[in-house]
Amino acid sequence: MIWKILYFIWNSGPLSKVAIVLVKAYQVGLRPYFSTGCYFYPSCSEFALGSIRKKGIVKALPGILGRILRCHPVGKRSHQNVMIELP
């Protein structure tokens, strides 16, 4: 598993590398203390990792930002359930 992550980081562009490390750092260091649960499945950070893996950070960024910006309790739709949005 850890090799997989390292291989994945190795194989990405420099910007994507930075982004992946940041997201991973968030998952390990910040999420346990701050997370309030995600409205989506998979969670925003996993979605981010997935789409960086697929398209690279530059193309993935708008989607990731859009997703995070929609992930809050205020809005037209009442979030009764977790929504499934795969990267």
Partner 1 sequence: MEKRVILAFLLSFLVLVGWEALFPSAKPVPVQSNNSLITHSSSTDHSLNGKTSKLESRVGGSEDVNPRHSKQKTTKLTTRLFKLSNSVLDIEFTNQGGGGISKAELKGFFETPEKKSLYRLFHIVEATPLLQVQGLVGVSCDILHPDVEQSSKSKLSFHYRCGEQGSFSIIYVIGRQYVLDVSYDFTQLAAAENKEFWVSFPANLLDRPTRSSVNQEEFIYGHSDDQVERVSLTAEQADISVNQAVQWVAFGDRYFFVGVLSPDIFKPKINVEFKKGENWATHLVLLKYLIPHDLSRKTSLLSTQLYLGPKDQKQLSGLGTMGEVIDFGFFGFIASPIYSFLKFMYAHVVSNYGIAIIILTILVRLMFLPLTLKGMGNMQAMQRIQPELQKLKEKHKDNREKLNQEMVGLFRAHKVNPLGGCLPILIQIPVFFALYTVLMNAVDLYHAPFFGWIQDLSGKDPYYVLPALLGIAFFVQQKLTPSTVDSTTQKVMMVMPIMFTFFMLNLPAGLNLYILTSTVLGVIQQLAINRRAASIS
72 binding partner 1? (CB under 8 A): yes
**Among the candidate windows 7-15, 50-58, 63-71, which touches partner 1 by CB under 8 A?**
63-71
Chosen residue from 12, 17, 27, 63 binding partner 1 by CB under 8 A: 27
Q: Whose structure tokens read 């969670």?
A: 43
Integer Cα distance of 16 and 18 in angstroms: 5
60 binding partner 1? (CB under 8 A): no
Residue 12 CB neighbours (<10 A): 17
Measured CA distances, 39 to 11, 68, 70, 80 (Å): 30, 10, 9, 9
Structure tokens at 59: 């193309």
71 binding partner 1? (CB under 8 A): yes
Chosen residue from 10, 14, 34, 77 binding partner 1 by CB under 8 A: 34
Instruction: Give the residues lining the site for partner 1 (CB under 8 A).
Output: 1-2, 27-39, 41, 43-45, 67-69, 71-73, 79-82, 84, 86
